Structure 1
Amino acid sequence: MKICQRDETVRALVIAGAGKAFCAGGDVKWMLSARDENWKSAFDSLVDNFNKVILLIRDIEKPVIAAVNGFASGAGFSLAMACDIRIISDKAKFNQAYVNLGLTPDGGSTYFLTLMLGAARVMDLVFTGRVIDAKEALSLGLASELIPAESFAERVEQWARQFAGGPSIAFKQAKTLINEAHRRTLEAQLDLERESIVGASLSNDFEEGLKAFSQKRKPVFKGN
């Protein structure tokens, strides 16, 4: 993630599962084997490292897509919610599996889901650990698009290419605006929006956008 942030040729990221699941959550077998006198330290370190990944996703100045092709359970649910956009296949499923192990959520689940759904719905998901299928996830607003599994990879690539060919400076500033909005007063947000749009208007991408509009063609943004 840090390498992608530094690499100016990388203009969008996709996080996807390599197998049938997006991310099945914590390794229960490891949890069983690691229950010794060092457990607290080991588990704390594990959660802390995961939290750092979540923060990297939110802080990276590029669009991040979660391509959810299967189960996103527990920490996998959190990982998907940390991304900017979620594209899901019809095989996607989500659940807050923590309750089944007697645990509480981590990875920002209570943060992201409460912002998206409100406290009452999040209480339902966390307390029951019930499985949300792809259709329900879409209806709840947890995903931007639901795609048949057979055309999933192709459609995810289209999303990624769209973002990679977009105005990187505008994406960067818009991501900051959106992520900070709930923490600010309207007055403070208006000030930040003013600073951002004026800054973006000084970019080459803005010049290109104006030219493309006047020439009735698709803009070719360079990210500068």
Structure 2
Amino acid sequence: MATPAHDHGPVLDRDGVRLTVDDAIATVTLTNPAKRNVQGPALWRALIEAGRLLPGSVRIVVLRAEGKSFSAGLDRKAFTPEGFDGELSFLSLAREADAELDATIALYQGAFTWWRRSDIVSIAAVQGHAIGAGFQLALACDLRVVAEDAQFAMRETSLGLVPDLTGTHPLVGLVGYARALEICLTGRFVPAEEAVTTGLANVAVPADQLDGAVQDLAAAVLSAPRDAVVETKALLQGARDRDYDAQRAAERAAQARRLRDLAGLGE
């Protein structure tokens, strides 16, 4: 994938993560293609920092990756006694008290949660393999545009683990319980065509058209007024947790706010 042009230098560039901002569009790039953008605590901390550094002007966040693979998932160093430099190995984490272990996993999850903030729309551009933590990082975004060579796989269960980086909720919401269960328990690859058919991805394009397709989608979202986008996203995000009448009420309240704002009567 070609690197998109930006007007400004990186806001953040460390531990396999680069953040650049071009007016209303921020781009978060995974920058360790030699290791297929494997993930670990340092990368997760950098992703958390990228979310904190987003200027208020940003409306779209594009998540992309250098190289042939989006992300091959967790760095297997996590399972060695030595672990990562300066980090506890997963084997050492297992010996921590319940509260400390829970807090550590919650910290790691923070790298995957901010992508669904109400004030932004996040778009993952996925090529090649998106495995385990890579799959969950793509699921953390609002929308997914995939190359025709994209392949998703949830391998945690086959390793004796569970997907714990916030991927289970969006996966069930996108493809349904039965298919999500089958994908997680078998660890099989989900190709791009199936991803689009099942709703896991919005569209699949040839690999050399991936950046262009993402840019076109971003431009379409930016063409709508920001406040209307924010209200619509909030309505749709909350729809699964509301019954029909509660959703109708939420629509009315949101529309009242929009009408008053357009009439110059907003707070």
Partner Cα separation in structure 1 for residue 205 and residue 227 of structure 2: 29
Question: Who is 2:72 aligned against?
Answer: 24
Partner Cα separation in structure 1 for residue 194 and residue 258 of structure 2: 37
Shift in alpha-carbon separation, 1:46–1:89, aligned structure 2, 3 A: farther
Structure 2 residue 92 is matched with structure 1 residue 38 = yes
Structure 2 residue 158 is matched with structure 1 residue 100 = yes
TM-score by length of 1: 0.82
**Equivalent pair of 2:73/2:132 in contact (CA under 8 Å):** yes
One-letter code of the match for 1:163?
A: V
Following TM superposition, the consecutive aligned residue runs of length 4 or more in structure 1 with deviations greater than 4 angstroms are 41-46
SS of 2:53 mapped into structure 1: helix
Per chain length, whose mean CA-contact separation is higher, i.e. which structure has more relative contact order (CA < 8 Å, sep 6+)?
1
Shift in alpha-carbon separation, 1:179–1:124, aligned structure 2, 3 A: same
One-letter code of the match for 2:74?
A: G
Partner Cα separation in structure 1 for residue 116 and residue 58 of structure 2: 16
Using the TM superposition, give the Cα deviation of residue 136 of structure 1 relative to its aligned residue in structure 2, in angstroms: 1.1
Structure 2 residue 190 is matched with structure 1 residue 119 = no
Which has the larger strand fraction? 2
**Equivalent pair of 2:118/2:233 in contact (CA under 8 Å):** no
- Aligned-pair identity in percent equals 31
Question: Who is 2:52 aligned against?
Answer: 2
**Equivalent pair of 2:118/2:234 in contact (CA under 8 Å):** no
Shift in alpha-carbon separation, 1:45–1:75, aligned structure 2, 3 A: farther
Question: Who is 1:198 aligned against?
Answer: 256
Question: Who is 1:136 aligned against?
Answer: 194
**Equivalent pair of 2:78/2:90 in contact (CA under 8 Å):** no
Question: Who is 2:124 aligned against?
Answer: 66
One-letter code of the match for 1:172?
A: V
Structure 2 regions of 5+ residues with no counterpart? Answer: 1-50, 84-88
Which has the larger helix fraction? 1
Count of residues in Structure 1 that have an aligned counterpart in Structure 2: 204
26-35 vs 81-90, which deviates more? Answer: 26-35
Using the TM superposition, give the Cα deviation of residue 18 of structure 1 relative to its aligned residue in structure 2, in angstroms: 2.2
Structure 1 regions of 5+ residues with no counterpart? Answer: 208-224
One-letter code of the match for 1:2?
A: R
Deviations 1:66-121 (A, max 9, x none): 11122111111112112111100112110011123111111222211112222211
Shift in alpha-carbon separation, 1:162–1:63, aligned structure 2, 3 A: same
